Structure 1
Amino acid sequence: MERFQKIVWHEKYKETYERLQQLEIDRKFCGHDIEHFLSVARISYLMILEKRLPVSKDIIYATALLHDLGRADQYEKGISHEEVGAILAEEILTDCGYTREERKFMTDTILRHRDMKEESESFASIFYRADKLSRDCIHCKARQECYWPEEKKNNKYIY
């Protein structure tokens, strides 16, 4: 079994994921569930393949499964979800057999996935774009209330 498969069975992951789902049970805007995580992974994977970048599927999917997990603490404690997410990821990734270099690569991406300033072909930049492209703004029931400006909303499908 690939290492990223172990993540969803990790006790800390399961507990935090369930807590996040309960906290977002009445959320009408984009949610942070397995559908979102897998959409981000799949879009990132396609973009990485297109660019022929040397990032493994295992690393891409692991990062996607963990990138918004910190939202539970953000809602409950007001902590930046990127920062707490990187801490959670470090613990989970260590237990799932990722090397120090791999963990650093993924936690750096998690820390930067909301606010990428540069346009580049780095994994962090591609992951940032995939996170935004994963949102189905066209069919969103909360589109009119969404805080995203119109120019940022996904009005066409790219991936």
Structure 2
Amino acid sequence: MENINIILNNKEYKQALEKLSEYERNREFCNHTIEHFMDVSRIAYIMVLEEKLNVSKEVIYAIGLLHDIGRVKQYEEGIHHDIASVEMSKEILKETSFTDEEINIILNGIANHRKESDNKLEEIIYKADKLSRQCFNCKAEKECYWSSEKKNFKITY
């Protein structure tokens, strides 16, 4: 998991996590913390193993760790976080030893994590993002704008 540790120790990544924590300090709804990023990564990894997809653990974790990092730019500049996450990730991934093909898979997974997809990995990332949310334990669940179909009311992974 060398590349994952490079991401976790990247200066820009660490600063973005700190800013996200500050921006969402008083947020009632789901926060975008390292815990959320790790939950998405772990759930996606389990799903990839179950589906027997040939995708490396590091690629999956990279997508999970980076998929919402652009929320900082969404708060600061109004840029949709999926687009901003891709742009920020391009810079962060330069420090890693991922191949160009792996980087392309990572960036596509990040770019498409907010919508259902015909691409199996991207669909898994979308589902893992939703399954990571503990709507069944959320104090603000009734005020949440997510539809009841989108909310996670059970433990699957």
Query: Same fold, TM exceeding 0.5?
Result: yes
Residue 46 of structure 1 is matched in structure 2 by: 46
**Is 1:135 equivalent to 2:133 in the alignment?**
yes
Q: How many residues align?
A: 157
Q: Secondary structure at the match of 2:91?
A: helix
- Cα root mean square deviation, aligned: 1.1
**Is 1:4 equivalent to 2:37 in the alignment?**
no
Detail structure 1 runs of 4+ shifted over 6 Å in the superposition: none
Q: Distance in 2 between matches of 1:121 and 1:73?
A: 27
> Residues 59-89 of structure 1: CA distance to partner in whole angstroms, max 9, x if unpaired?
1111111000000110111001111100111
**Is 1:73 equivalent to 2:73 in the alignment?**
yes
1:106-117 equivalences in 2 (<5 Å): 106-116=106-116
Unaligned runs of 5+ in 2: none
Paired residues of 1:114 and 1:128 also in contact (CA < 8 A) = yes
Q: Distance in 1 between matches of 2:100 and 2:119?
A: 23
Residue 55 of structure 1 is matched in structure 2 by: 55
Deviation at 1:157, TM superposition (A): 1.2
Unaligned runs of 5+ in 1: none
1:25-36 equivalences in 2 (<5 Å): 25-36=25-36
Paired residues of 1:94 and 1:103 also in contact (CA < 8 A) = no
Deviation at 1:23, TM superposition (A): 0.6
Structure-1-length-normalised TM-score: 0.95
Deviation at 1:150, TM superposition (A): 1.4
